[in-house]
């Protein structure tokens, strides 16, 4: 039985907005995916952005087998207590030797802890999908990307990104929009694997994120107006519910198996569990 700690990257306002858009918090959605990938796993959810956040009474970080950090509406470049608390959690987890996985916000926090830089991506945001992700030479043989093709697509929702990776990090994948799309960071006794894209997002969850970020999507020019964002989100929801009946929409939005097959979409999380978490648990048994 795996004991997994899931840290929601949002503050209270961000969590409330996410619940309104998706019906669950980011951490709740992430935990549901983890339980599918690791049946029987016990997921403990925490909100490290909050001043009163705490682990359950009588537990410590070392009691968990891994930490997962979700996306967030926060920006590291803006600072503030909610950001500093999450940086502190990441630093402690890596310092304690805990395996950590993060997507989007999580990868930015880990990079900053290890001496890198996260800021607004000068080449612009990715709203919807990261296209033509390409493995680096190191990524071609790294277990995080085992099962991925030489090029692949993934769900994405980000404005900020890792602009300067830590000096001792290994960049595993990138594309024309961003050179750091997947990364391994070894920091002290801890190891972090993560992606700027969102392997945890199903298409309906991605649709909810697009609706939540509609103002930003339009401002960035990713969609011409709010009606177009809604139409795009509605298409993704229809495909999620019944992909067999949505061939035209699938073709229109260029959705291949990397995006339509849940197992392929969640490749990196499954690989992290298989290569970083389970061996550690078995070795300690």
The whole-number pLDDT of residue 1 equals 87
Supply the CATH number for residue 31's domain.
3.40.50.880
Q: How far apart are CA 204 and CA 253, in angstroms?
A: 14
The whole-number pLDDT of residue 135 equals 97
Q: Is 156 in the same domain as 217?
A: no
Question: What distances in angstroms separate CA 23 from CA 15, 28, 33, 209, 213, one per listed residue?
Answer: 10, 10, 15, 11, 15
Q: Is 47 in the same domain as 73?
A: yes
Domain count, the chain: 2
Q: Is 183 in the same domain as 230?
A: no
Question: What distances in angstroms separate CA 117 from CA 77, 107, 149, one per listed residue?
Answer: 9, 11, 28
Q: Is 230 in the same domain as 101?
A: no
Q: Is 115 in the same domain as 28?
A: yes
Q: Is 218 in the same domain as 139?
A: no
Q: Is 96 in the same domain as 235?
A: no
Q: Say what percent of the chain tops pLDDT 90.
A: 96
The whole-number pLDDT of residue 260 equals 97
pLDDT tens per residue, range 48-72 = 999 999 999 899 999 999 999 999 9
User: Beta strands of 159-266 (E only): which ranges?
Assistant: 160-164, 170-174, 182-187, 190-195
Q: Is 280 in the same domain as 230?
A: no
Q: Is 119 in the same domain as 30?
A: yes
Question: What distances in angstroms separate CA 107 from CA 78, 95, 164, 277, one per listed residue?
Answer: 17, 16, 12, 18
Q: Is 30 in the same domain as 116?
A: yes
The whole-number pLDDT of residue 121 equals 96
Alpha-carbon dihedral angle through residues 217, 222, 226, 227, given to the nearest 10 degrees: -150
Q: Is 186 in the same domain as 94?
A: yes
Cβ–Cβ under 8 Å, residues 35 and 269: no
The whole-number pLDDT of residue 285 equals 74
Residue ranges, the chain, pLDDT below 50: none
Q: How far apart are CA 181 and CA 153, in angstroms?
A: 11
The whole-number pLDDT of residue 284 equals 84
Q: Is 80 in the same domain as 155?
A: yes
User: Could you list the residue range(s) of the whole structural domain that residue 249 is in?
Assistant: 203-257
């Amino acid at each position: 039985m795996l004991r997994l700690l899931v840290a929601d990257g949002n503050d209270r306002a961000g969590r409330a907005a996410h619940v309104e858009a998706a019906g669950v918090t980011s951490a709740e959605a992430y935990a549901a995916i983890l339980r599918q990938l690791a049946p029987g796993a016990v997921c403990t959810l925490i909100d490290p952005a909050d001043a009163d956040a705490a682990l359950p009474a009588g537990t410590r970080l070392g009691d968990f087998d891994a930490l997962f950090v979700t996306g967030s509406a926060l920006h590291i470049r803006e600072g503030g207590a909610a950001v500093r608390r999450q940086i502190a959690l990441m630093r402690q987890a890596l310092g304690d030797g805990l395996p950590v996985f993060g997507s989007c916000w999580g990868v930015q926090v880990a990079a900053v802890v290890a001496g890198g830089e996260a800021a607004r991506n000068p080449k612009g945001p990715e709203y919807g999908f990261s296209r033509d992700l390409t493995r680096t030479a190191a990524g071609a043989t790294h277990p995080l990307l085992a099962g991925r093709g030489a090029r692949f697509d993934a769900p994405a929702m980000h404005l900020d990104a890792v602009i300067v990776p830590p000096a001792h990090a290994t960049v595993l994948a990138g594309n024309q929009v961003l050179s750091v799309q997947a990364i391994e960071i070894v920091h002290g006794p801890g190891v972090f694997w993560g992606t700027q894209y969102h392997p945890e997002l199903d298409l309906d969850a991605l649709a909810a994120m697009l609706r939540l970020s509609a103002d930003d999507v339009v401002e960035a020019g990713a969609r011409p107006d709010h009606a177009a964002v809604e139409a795009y989100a509605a298409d993704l929801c229809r495909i999620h519910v019944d992909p067999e009946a949505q061939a035209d929409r699938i073709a229109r939005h260029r959705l291949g198996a990397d995006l339509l097959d849940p197992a392929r979409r969640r490749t990196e999380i499954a690989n992290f569990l298989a290569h970083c978490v389970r061996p550690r648990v078995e070795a300690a048994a």
